[in-house]
Amino acid sequence: MNISILSVFPELYKPFLSTSLVGRAVQSGLVSFHVQDFFSYSEPKERIDAPTYGPGAGMILKPEIVQKAIEDCENQRGKAFKIFFSPQGKKLDQPLARQLAQQLAGKHVMLVASRYEGMDTRVEEEYADLELSIGDYVVLGGDLPAMVFIETFLRLVPGVVGKEESVVCESFSGAFLDHPEYGPPVVWKDQEVPEILRSGHHEKIKQWRHEQAARKSIVRRFDWVRSHAGSDKDRATVARLLPAHYAALMHVDIRLPHDQIGTTSVTSLDIHDIARSACTYGIKNYFVVTPLSDQQRLVETLRSFWMSEVGIDYNPERHEAVRRVQLVAQLDDVVAAIREKEGIDPLIIATSARPVGGRAETITFNDHEKVFSHNRPVLFLFGTGRGLADVVFERCDYVLIPLEGFSEYNHLSVRSAAAVIFDRWLGTTGKREGN
């Protein structure tokens, strides 16, 4: 492996390239580095940077300096795959690192580390085979990103890390983060190493580690899990370990004009469609909440058809969805039913088409960790008519931001909103294995 680095500060690389596993990889001949100084391509006393065009005080590397450095490097060491570092580039993650480790094995790779305001766009367009970002933040220059890339990349080069297993079973290599690690002493600050790890029972330890890793990943990085748990096994693990989710459609405690609170009528479409969405996203029960006896009779009639032999025969999938519909009179009944099943009250998350003030904290669709770390069942509340009344928001733990697009129109039906919310909160975002 042959890695060239073009930099404004080549001295930064001396200790880095001679220390620890990177240094050992160089000594053992697995990789060779060649660091080139952009200043070698300027005339004496010539600056290598110039002010950018347009307002602002930015400086960038001169294109002709970068051109000379790249051409000289390729003349000396052969054609290279050129990686430019930029916060605007493709984000480096473990799957991309693995792909690059395969694609670039044994090749000449050139890392171009910029400074100042970055690179002249024309230079990137002309030379970059890949623009790479190390994350959604901006550091002073491309040297730390180059070093981050080198460490990530080299550990995937066979022979660089002693035990191959260390780079196979680790965070971001599959659907889950790495499992928790413990070492001696057995008791430290009154905390004991879990007994199972000292049992010597390898198969049980493996299972325990998998379970711990999956649990932690679901709470901390549901964004990663939902896009990488594509195998049947991982999907089943996530389904088993996700907090139990419930939904309720409120036809009581609904906002009316002049600060009144009232009820609304049920609709068969909302019962069917929300039940089907709920079933699709693994919602355990969907409660229809109405205290009105005539409305209750309607729900019962519809439900009993789908629970009857005729209904099951007619459309078994619809039966499967409507089976989860539970009719109750008040929100208290919903909470009590969940408490009875789960042994603990649910966290209540209200939904609303408009921003809501008040006691409950507003959360976004990226706040899984906040919600999941409570380790409690989750109940989504949907309003009908003009939306949930303030008395309902007052007893919720969180309120979800309103669903919105980049338009000023915002009149989703509750069944559409429920489907979108279930998908944004619980839906997978990656490929399923075999698809």
Task: Note the residues at the interface with ligand SAM (CB under 6 A).
Answer: 85-88, 113-115, 117-119, 133-135, 137-142, 145
Complex with ligand SAM: residue 84 or 372, whichever CB lies closer? 84
Q: Kindly state the smallest distance separating residue 85's Cβ from ligand SAM, in Å.
A: 4
Q: In the numeric block, which tokens belong to residue 431?
A: 């490929």
**Position of tokens 């766009």?**
121
Q: Kindly state the smallest distance separating residue 140's Cβ from ligand SAM, in Å.
A: 6
Q: Kindly state the smallest distance separating residue 145's Cβ from ligand SAM, in Å.
A: 4
Q: In the numeric block, which tokens belong to residue 428?
A: 């997978």
Complex with ligand SAM: residue 65 or 399, whichever CB lies closer? 65
Q: Kindly state the smallest distance separating residue 39's Cβ from ligand SAM, in Å.
A: 17
Complex with ligand SAM: residue 118 or 383, whichever CB lies closer? 118
Complex with ligand SAM: residue 133 or 231, whichever CB lies closer? 133
Question: What count of Cα atoms within 13 Å lies in the side-chain half-sphere of residue 277?
Answer: 23
Q: Kindly state the smallest distance separating residue 3's Cβ from ligand SAM, in Å.
A: 17
Complex with ligand SAM: residue 111 or 378, whichever CB lies closer? 111
| DSSP per-residue codes, 251-315 | SSSEEETTTEEE-----HHHHHHHHHHHHHTT-SEEEEE---HHHHHHHHHHHHHHHSHHHHHH-
Does the N-terminal peptide bond of residue 185 adopt cis geometry, omega within 30 degrees of 0? yes
Using a 10 angstrom Cβ sphere, with 0-12 exposed, 13-18 middle and 19 or more buried, the burial of residue 112 is: buried
Q: Kindly state the smallest distance separating residue 134's Cβ from ligand SAM, in Å.
A: 4
- Across-strand partners of 285? 246
Complex with ligand SAM: residue 92 or 417, whichever CB lies closer? 92
Q: Kindly state the smallest distance separating residue 109's Cβ from ligand SAM, in Å.
A: 16
Distance CA 24, CA 337 (A): 61
Distance CA 195, CA 200 (A): 10
- Classify 131 as helix, strand or coil: strand
Q: Kindly state the smallest distance separating residue 90's Cβ from ligand SAM, in Å.
A: 10
Strands 191-192 and 187-188: antiparallel
Complex with ligand SAM: residue 86 or 326, whichever CB lies closer? 86
Complex with ligand SAM: residue 119 or 266, whichever CB lies closer? 119
- Going 293 to 259 to 413 to 352, the CA torsion angle's sign is negative
Distance CA 351, CA 247 (A): 11
